Chains A and B, each alone.
Chain A
Amino acid sequence: MKPIRLITAVAAAGLLALAGCSSGDGTGTPAPGGGLKPPERQKLAALGAGEGQVNVIAWAGYAEDGTNDPKVDWVTGFEKATGCQVSVKIGQTSDDMVTLMKTGDYDTVSASGDASLRLIYGGDVAPVNTDLVANYKDVFDGLKNKSWNSVDGVAYGVPHGRGANLLMYRTDVVKPAPTSWGAVFDANSPYKDKVTAYDSPIYIADAALYLMKTKPDLNIKNPYALDDTQFQAAVDLLKAQNGIIGEYWSDYTKEIQAFKSGDSVLGTTWQVITNLAQADKAPVEAILPVEGATGWSDTWMISDKAKHPNCAYMWMNHIISPEANAAVAEYFGEAPSNKLSCAKTADKNHCATFHAEDEAYFAQVWYWTTPIAQCLDGRTNVTCKDYLAWTQAWTTIKG
């Protein structure tokens, strides 16, 4: 064994030295919370010719090119008009998208609020030169320069749209129709082993939101700002829920199939999943429960290492153009970000249904945000649990 051990040791040492030598990019100063500054990144000065290709990371349903449904396609027209061939990678969770962006192989991403700040402070995205995006001027003011897509007034992306997580159920199995998130948190649920939940640590916020409304003595003001006691309560609730869960879902098509076959009858969903399941003749409905919901406000961001920056800008401009934004908002089931899209939707009531212009409504939707140690609700006397703690707790919850 001796020569082998020796060679292994040498190889290991050599690679260790190599690994030690390679240094990471400059990142934000390590202390999370106050005083954090995103690293210096340059925004594109002027728009040049298209590079012929753009690599996009998108939520399912955001970049449809007709392969799922020939009538649903806002990509082919873009490809013909700009010559930029679109290659789409579906991100299943925000964590997925952050990891993919870090590889540097993609140009643009539709980041939710719990990914956008991590990308900004990780130095993976560059600020967006909004002057180069012609349709930006028509975006709702309520979405511009918010805490999740800008830092110190510098915009890091263009808003895509926003929406809420809903509760979906099989109308033929779940009777009476549920009205509250309590239906999925009921440890004695009659639908044991057929309940589903979103497979991401961010789902802890859903439990916290439920506790916010049903256990006021816990004093939760923001479901992403949880101190030790509040966090433990949410985790305990989820551990109890694990007993009635059949499957957790992150692949949206797996949820469609599970609801269609009846393996899942009750659980969290996105509107697009319900729409697709109904199109396949599954008897399902989705509701916004009385406690409100968590939600997301998505932003298109551009990678700092983008190999095709011009095509990426063209894509961003296209996806928030009135027609394309209306098409994706209707297909996915969310509120569009472009004011002019409301006139372009096939369903004239779409913007009203999704409260596109109703800022008061969205004040009740808790957008996905990355939890950090410095409490997001402003408390300074305690530290809150950061996302690493959420991730590790999620493993414990699933058991």
Chain B
Amino acid sequence: MSAVSTVDRKPGGGTPPEGANAGGPARRLASWLHRHGWVRLGVLLSAPMAWLVVAYLGSLAVLLVSSLWRVNSFTGDLVREPTLDNFRTIFAEPVYRNVALRSIGVAVAVTVIDALIALPMAFFMAKVASPRFRAGLVIAILTPLWASYLVKAYSWRVMLGNGGPVDWLLGGPGNGPGYGLTATIIVLAYLWLPYMILPIYAGLDRLPNSLLEASADLGGRGGRTFRSVVLPMIVPSVIAGSIFTFSLSLGDYITVQIVGGKTQLIGNLVFANIGAANNLPFAAALATIPVFIMIGYLVAVRRSGALNEL
């Protein structure tokens, strides 16, 4: 529909807004765009798709392709002849299986721990705290996100060190977990906790109190309401939070280097092969493991609507 002429003007209202230029080029373009929705769609999608599909997916594709190459073992230069050797090595050597399983285990443990800690906290914030207090609590949860990840991990290194605060709390040097797999799980759970609290809080916030009252009216006590009403409705939020904790833990190598002692996770293997070993194809082959795990996880949870709650 073309713009001005066919519309009846109500008396007293409808003065054209500032900048209206009845027949100007901007206006003509706007009306043309209005009539041709597909062009508008194309314009809206062009830049983001170019960025995400061509640049990002393209780089992933290059990485996948390079996992089929290998390096000259002496000079370290890329040999661009396709071969499945990298994948054969990964499947044949037990160490890669162990590291992959260990990494998945760590990611699952971190997700579960974070979910368990986040649920009561988020519930308190959303349903029990008074509104003013609630705003303060949200700020309190968000603020640590600005403290550098590295500094937080290093602070834990100091805390878990020989004779440090954790040892002191548990009765003396050597009583604490020290550096290793346990320390890695603790620190990762610590680092990603806000990312789990926020989506759950947002989900609980959206849950109308009337539903909970209705459940009480129908005879449900606190626990029953929680189990049958609240929990099913916040599953997407928990899954949204778990996407963060799972993927951030799966690929992490820095925390492992800081508090992990001699532990190796899949991120460390990828990093070591990129840097120290200068073996990009093998690193790329290793990197496909977390990629496929995460894509599988994302596709599986797509239906739950969790992707919209990130």
Give A residues with C-beta under 8 Å from B: 4, 7-8, 11-12, 14-16, 19-20, 24-25, 27-28, 30, 32, 36, 93, 95-96, 98-99, 102, 118, 121-123, 193, 200-201, 242, 245-248, 261-263, 370, 372, 386-388, 391-392, 395-396, 398-399
Contact = CB atoms under 8 A, between A and B. Distances in A.
Given A16-B62, A19-B80, A395-B95, 15 more contacts: A12-B65, A15-B58, A25-B77, A27-B77, A30-B79, A32-B72, A95-B276, A95-B278, A98-B278, A123-B75, A261-B162, A387-B74, A395-B264, A395-B269, A396-B95
Nearest to A389: B73
A301 B164 CA distance: 44
Interface string B73-115: 1111111100000000100010110100000000000000000
B275 A95 contact: yes
Given A12-B58, A395-B272, A388 B53 contact: no
Nearest to B279: A391
30 contacts: A4-B53, A7-B53, A8-B61, A12-B61, A12-B64, A14-B58, A15-B61, A19-B62, A20-B80, A32-B72, A99-B274, A99-B278, A118-B75, A121-B74, A121-B75, A122-B77, A123-B75, A200-B276, A246-B178, A246-B262, A247-B261, A261-B161, A261-B164, A262-B162, A263-B178, A263-B179, A388-B73, A388-B279, A395-B95, A396-B95
A262 B163 CA distance: 8
A387 B276 CA distance: 12
A398 B264 contact: yes
Nearest to A243: B262
Contacts of A32: 72-74
B78 A392 contact: no
B75 A93 contact: no
Contact of B276 (A27, A30, A96, A386): A96
B216 to A, nearest CB: 44
A372 B76 CA distance: 13
Q: Name the 4 nearest CB pairs between A and B, nearest first.
A: A12-B61, A388-B73, A122-B75, A95-B276
Contacts of B54: 7, 11
A201 B272 CA distance: 11
Contact of A19 (B65, B74, B96, B264): B65
B220 interface: no
B291 interface: no
A370 B95 contact: no
A16 B276 contact: no
B178 A122 contact: no
Interface residues of B, number: 44
Interface in B33-47: none
B61 A118 contact: no
Contacts of A245: 262
Contacts of A399: 95, 98, 262, 264
B276 A102 contact: no
Contacts of A372: 74
Interface in B10-63: 49, 53-54, 57-59, 61-62
B73 A386 contact: yes
A35 B96 CA distance: 36
Contact of B76 (A7, A8, A118): A118
A24 B66 CA distance: 14
Nearest to A398: B264
A108 B116 CA distance: 53
Interface in B161-185: 161-164, 173, 178-179
Nearest to A200: B276
Given A370-B74, A386-B74, A387-B74, A8 B162 contact: no
B162 A263 contact: yes
A349 B157 CA distance: 40
B277 interface: yes
A90 to B, nearest CB: 13
B1 to A, nearest CB: 30
Given A118-B74, A395-B272, A396-B95, A102 B178 contact: no
A298 B169 CA distance: 47
Contacts of A193: 178, 261
A242 B264 CA distance: 12
A11 B178 CA distance: 47
A30 B53 contact: no
Given A246-B178, A247-B261, A387-B74, A11 B275 contact: no
Nearest to B79: A30
Contacts of A201: 276-277
Interface in B236-287: 261-262, 264, 269, 272, 274-279
Contacts of A123: 75
B179 A246 contact: yes
Given A95-B278, A96-B276, A399-B98, A102 B76 contact: yes
Most A CB atoms within 10 A — which of B59, B61, B62?
B61
B45 to A, nearest CB: 10
A392 B74 contact: no
B65 A16 contact: yes
Contacts of B162: 261-263
Most A CB atoms within 10 A — which of B53, B179, B262?
B262
Given A16-B61, A93-B276, A11 B95 contact: no
Nearest to A244: B262
Contacts of A391: 276-277, 279
B90 to A, nearest CB: 11
A98 B57 CA distance: 29
Nearest to A123: B75
A387 B73 contact: yes
B54 to A, nearest CB: 5
Contacts of A242: 262
